[in-house]
Structure 1
Amino acid sequence: MPTHNKATGAFASVTTLFFVWGFITSLVDPLVAAVKGIFNLSNVEAQLSAFAFFIAYGIISIPAAILVSRLRAVPSIVLAIAMMIAGCFVILAGTNLDTYPGVLLGLFVIASGITILQVAANPLAAALGVPERSHFRLTLSQAFNSLGTVLGPLLGANLLLKGVEVKPGEVIDATARSNALGAIDLSFVIIAVLLAFLAGFIWWSRRRITDAAPPAPAAHGFGQTLAEVASSRWALIGGLAIFLYVGAEVAIGTQMALFLNSESIWDIPLQHAGYYVSLYWLGAMIGRFVGSALLTRMKAHRLLAVNTAIAAALCLFVVLTRGVPAGYAALSIGLFNSIMFPVIFTLTLERSSASTDATSGFLCMSIIGGAIIPLIVGKIADMSGYSTGLAVPMLCYVVLCAIAIAAGRARTHAAGVDGDEEFVSPH
């Protein structure tokens, strides 16, 4: 049994990982706005950045679980960080070769590393310490993850969006384009260096983490997971819910800077709009703590129904109005997104007749919604404007509200699941 000091030190080491993947994932938001101007892209083409990133969850989640079960936690974490560093250099090659597909490939490699990182780190956060404080540790880790999602857009706006503002029908000038590509290079060089230090720190902490880590569970294969999930109605419903939630959240976040920059909303410089994106994620950070308190007083499915209904109403308000109120309404959606991922996860586990491992693996795969739905929103934004694009997230939230109501009427299948288990969102 690891001593308290060793477990605490191991937990502190692992918690740095939560911050890092939140920080890097949220950089995709300003990057979408930056590449749109740099490479003269349409909205849907710019959203390919989110597609390249989140498609990795659908492809890599189950192979990552198999990898972690064979390598154990620390080697898997170090391998994941090495992949993320490699992805940074692929992006550097893409910018220096002046090719957008190179940037997309780099994002996919980084996201693949983050997927492995999450599969390895999530169970560690729960296990590194006394069992009765596991929920406190998970909440604290989520707070650092959320802190990363708040700080990421601030750095991204400062480095990536300076001088890349391009109004419809205009093309960025050569000097500004060169500077913008250099800013992307600088951003990912900084990230690569920090990741290298992080890998060294995790390797230095390997003994304390290994001593405190639980045995790795046997991973299900891809076919076995899908076969179990196909036999469970609520596993499929939960997968749909995660798909819609992540897709809506990512679509709003990646469009936010361009949305606030548009003449019909705030008409502020793109770089300033990028700073405001951090408020979207700050709302999610605050909402996680408020939501944790509310979940001790009301049923999870009811809180999910309320939050999704409010989020849908805010989207509808944005679709129907313009100007300053629409901007603040869009930013406030983050507050109501906050509890959706963990609540959907636990509601699904309670009702799924498939095994916990198979259900969890399928729900992680369903994060692929963050790759698909932003493309749809980007296409609508190209045709009808950014405000109209929020009609798609609105529909996602309406379906999620219906699923929450149905969850309140459904029987639970998983014995011993009390709904208090917590999970970390892709951000």
Structure 2
Amino acid sequence: MQQQRQSAGVTGAFIIVTCLFFAWGFITALNDPLVAAVKGIFTLSRFEAQFIAFAFFIAYGLISFPAAALLSRTRAMSSIVMALVTMIAGCALILLAANLAVFPLVLVGLFVLASGITILQVAANPLVAALGNPDYSHFRLTFSQTFNSLGTFIAPILGAHLFLKGVEVKEGTVITPEVRAHALAGIDMAYLWLCGLIALLTIFMFLSRRTVTSALPNAPQRTSQQSIGSLISDALSSRWAMFGGLAIFLYVGAEVSIGTQMTAFLNDNAIWGLSDAPFSVPLLGATMGSDGIHGVSVEEAGKAVAFYWGGAMVGRAVGSALLARFNASGLLATFTAIACAMCVYVAAVGGVSAGFVALCIGLFNSIMFPVIFTITLERSSASAEATSGLLCTAIVGGALVPLLVGKFSELTSYHAALIIPALCYAVLCMFAVASRRAQVHLREEPAAASIH
């Protein structure tokens, strides 16, 4: 009877923490329609609009190691509550920015929001791995990531509905004051609801802290607390930690740069802007919801972006089954090579078919982050904590690569700019091939991680 109660307690704690995965997946994917919205609202260039991604993902580069140091000094649930409070502050700043119509303040709010999410990820990932039988830690993390992916699928649809109605992002067009006011009101509504929901989640986590803590196994006494400096020094001493950091940097940069430009890319006249072909695809057409006007509007394109992230959700399920049968390095090499070829096709060919191909890239992105992460941990000579901290810091690629892609698309076109993600995937393929010959350093339990 006592064992049943203990099992129920662990299950309850797992469900509580899994709610966090959905929350940060939803908030992260909300950036995609937000990029298109602010581009039209504030009449920004393609390069300037990508500062949305920069402001959000730069937090990973600045906060990951401090978050790891914080977690080594406090309990996981205390760090989670602190992270959620930080996220509320970020949402409040974005609310203020929407009411004042000040773009730089939007960027500050996004940085604060992402700082909270960074702390949340550093705390929640290993927490999920620890809740229950160690033999099933990878299953628990994969299951939690399914809810993370569900959040990334829903967010673009809801965000497009709230942010993009009537908004124009094509160069040379100016939105009316009424449309601008409606888009700002949509941003205001979305982040007001987010602020309230995160506040409720914070209260829920605070009240549930003992339930989760009591479900954890007795942790061994820490012999030492590593400083930020020692963690960084340890990570930089390993060539494979550095190589893995570069791989994560390029992967996140490629994935985010494609996702944040996808709305404007699909809306472009060279892709779907003058075509009704997407509406003939049953599930895609129903999700986009044709407004009866020829071509794909920016709102309809924004809803289609859900399938880019939905592909990652499906790919994780399929990829988990494939990883049980095939070598991880070989599977990573295959997926990165296919993603590279798809980007090259989009860049070289363009047209209606390029829109469908671009959406399918998400399917092959699916396994890249966890496989790169675990391959690096297995081969790194640095400690798991230091290597994990470096890899989380490398997520800053999501801040820098989209700026490069945005500038390149200004000089060429939206579809030609995908040559940069193609180069990123080519390097990732080389990483996968090189990992097959590298020495593996066995560890008791690789650190868990998730990007979204």
**TM-score using structure 1 length:** 0.97
Counterpart residue number, 2:276? none
How far residue 225 of structure 1 moved from its aligned partner, in angstroms, is 2.1
Counterpart residue number, 2:280? none
| Coordinate RMSD, CA, aligned | 1.5
Question: Does the alignment pair 1:238 with 2:238?
Answer: no
Query: Conserved in 1, the CA contact under 8 Å of 2:249 and 2:396?
Result: yes
Structure 2, gaps ≥5 residues long: 274-295
Counterpart residue number, 2:32? 29
Question: Does the alignment pair 1:363 with 2:391?
Answer: yes
Amino acid at match of 1:256: M
Distance 1:114 1:219, change over 3 A: farther
Amino acid at match of 1:251: S
Deviates more, 1:172-181 or 1:243-252: 172-181
Mapping 1:104-253, distance limit 5 Å: 104-214=107-217, 215=219, 220-253=226-259
Q: Structure 2 CA distance, aligned partners of 1:295 and 1:166?
A: 41
297, 301, 304: which is aligned to 2:329?
301
Query: Conserved in 2, the CA contact under 8 Å of 1:30 and 1:161?
Result: yes
Q: Structure 2 CA distance, aligned partners of 1:161 and 1:224?
A: 46
Counterpart residue number, 1:259? 265
Mapping 1:31-46, distance limit 5 Å: 31-46=34-49
Q: Structure 1 CA distance, aligned partners of 2:267 and 2:110?
A: 25
- 1:348-397 CA-partner distances (Å, limit 9, x unpaired): 11111111111110000000000000000000111111001101000000
Distance 1:302 1:417, change over 3 A: farther
Query: Conserved in 1, the CA contact under 8 Å of 2:132 and 2:216?
Result: no
Amino acid at match of 1:230: L
- 1:219-258 CA-partner distances (Å, limit 9, x unpaired): 5323212211222111110000000000000000000010
Query: Conserved in 2, the CA contact under 8 Å of 1:245 and 1:400?
Result: yes
Structure 1, gaps ≥5 residues long: none
Question: Does the alignment pair 1:54 with 2:57?
Answer: yes
How far residue 184 of structure 1 moved from its aligned partner, in angstroms, is 0.6
Counterpart residue number, 1:352? 380
Q: Structure 2 CA distance, aligned partners of 1:415 and 1:133?
A: 18
Amino acid at match of 1:148: G
Distance 1:219 1:42, change over 3 A: farther
Query: Conserved in 1, the CA contact under 8 Å of 2:345 and 2:354?
Result: yes
Counterpart residue number, 1:288? 316
Amino acid at match of 2:127: L
- 1:312-365 CA-partner distances (Å, limit 9, x unpaired): 000000001122210010000000000000100111111111111111100000
Provide the secondary structure at the position in 1 that maps to 2:436: helix
Q: Structure 2 CA distance, aligned partners of 1:219 and 1:181?
A: 46
428, 436, 440: which is aligned to 1:400?
428
Query: Conserved in 1, the CA contact under 8 Å of 2:72 and 2:225?
Result: yes
Provide the secondary structure at the position in 1 that maps to 2:247: helix
Counterpart residue number, 1:87? 90
Count of aligned pairs: 424
378, 382, 386: which is aligned to 2:414?
386
370, 393, 396: which is aligned to 1:342?
370
Q: Structure 1 CA distance, aligned partners of 2:215 and 2:13?
A: 7
How far residue 97 of structure 1 moved from its aligned partner, in angstroms, is 1.9
Question: Does the alignment pair 1:9 with 2:12?
Answer: yes
Distance 1:417 1:316, change over 3 A: farther
Q: Structure 2 CA distance, aligned partners of 1:352 and 1:323?
A: 43
How far residue 422 of structure 1 moved from its aligned partner, in angstroms, is 7.2
Deviates more, 1:122-131 or 1:162-171: 162-171
Counterpart residue number, 2:442? 415
Query: Conserved in 2, the CA contact under 8 Å of 1:229 and 1:354?
Result: yes
Query: Conserved in 2, the CA contact under 8 Å of 1:62 and 1:221?
Result: no
How far residue 404 of structure 1 moved from its aligned partner, in angstroms, is 0.6
Deviates more, 1:164-173 or 1:145-154: 164-173
How far residue 417 of structure 1 moved from its aligned partner, in angstroms, is 6.2
Q: Structure 2 CA distance, aligned partners of 1:125 and 1:338?
A: 20
TM superposition outliers: structure 1 runs of 4+ over 4 Å: 216-219
- 1:41-82 CA-partner distances (Å, limit 9, x unpaired): 001100000000000001001111122222211121111111
Provide the secondary structure at the position in 2 that maps to 1:402: helix
Deviates more, 1:357-366 or 1:229-238: 229-238
**TM-score using structure 2 length:** 0.91
Question: Does the alignment pair 1:75 with 2:103?
Answer: no
Amino acid at match of 2:362: G
Identity score, percent? 58
- 1:133-157 CA-partner distances (Å, limit 9, x unpaired): 2222111101011111101111111
